[in-house]
Amino acid sequence: MRVELGVAQRRGMAALAGREVRRVLALWTQTILPPVVTAALFLAVFGGALGDRLRTVEGVDYLDFILPGLLVMTVASQTFANNSTTLFQAKNEGYIEDVLTSPLRPWQLAVAYMAGGLVRGFVAAAVVVLATVPFVGPIEQPLTALAALILTGLAFASLGVITGVWAETFDQHSFVASLVVMPLTLVGGVFYSARTLDEPWRTLTRFDPIYYLVDATRAAFTGFHEESVVTSLGVAAVASVTMVALAILLLARGWRLKP
């Protein structure tokens, strides 16, 4: 009996994850294309127009310098947007109750819902990387880059689940996206080196978890970093584990999900 339940749970998790992934791929003009165009515009404006004036930052070509941060920003924003929207819609349209009555464990629900956001973020980031290959240097540490982007995806996919569970109105949903996620990405050292800032901004930047994700990814792409790569990945890992655990806890309690 226990074996049959386990099989049913694995199949259910795969089915729910498959639905989320298919939705992302089927709506690629809404889920994949916009972040790719946005990243391309950032590269064109900052890397192209300003790159002629700035040339280099900390000895790194400016286009090479900002690309890692744009990848982190793309993965963070898209994983968050996908998962927060999915849960928010499921609550408002009432079909979240069907999922909650299934035999899936809370962690399986979290994994299944996060799958769509992770696919959305990584596909968009991969397209950006492929598009910039002719213009930037080779990746020095591919595994480090992959680890940093995976941690980015896990942290913000989980934050999307948490927001989707918490938000009861569209205003609440938009609040987190507009006043938490976007500001964190823009002040996380995507377009500049934190060492060039005056105090207290230099210190305050180091309280932004995205700063460490950007720094680790930039180290992987260019070799330049302001913090130890181990420290950056460690901070990112703690943030990711915390967010994943909180998402699972909220799903387990059914907070704001169950009538």
pLDDT at residue 24 greater than cutoff 90: yes
- Which residue would you say has higher pLDDT here, 123 or 132? 123
pLDDT computed for residue 162 by the predictor: 94
Distance, in Å, from the CA atom of 217 to the CA atom of 206, rounded to the nearest integer, reads 16
Dihedral sign from CA coordinates of 204, 209, 211, 216: positive
> What pTM does this model have?
0.92
pLDDT at 3 over 90: no
Question: Confidence class of residue 98 from pLDDT cuts 50, 70 and 90?
Answer: confident
Instruction: Inform me whether the pLDDT recorded for 12 exceeds 80.
Output: yes
Mean pLDDT for the chain overall: 88
| SS3 (DSSP) at 57 | strand
Whether the CB-CB separation of 204 and 103 falls below 8 Å is answered with no
Residue 142: burial class (beta carbons within 10 Å; 0-12, 13-18, 19+): exposed
With a cut of 60, say whether residue 104 has pLDDT above it.
yes
Give me the residue spans of the domains in the chain. 2-253
Confidence of residue 2 (pLDDT cuts 50, 70, 90): low
Asked whether residue 1 carries a pLDDT value surpassing 80, the answer given is no
52-66, 96-110, 146-160: which has the minimum mean pLDDT?
52-66
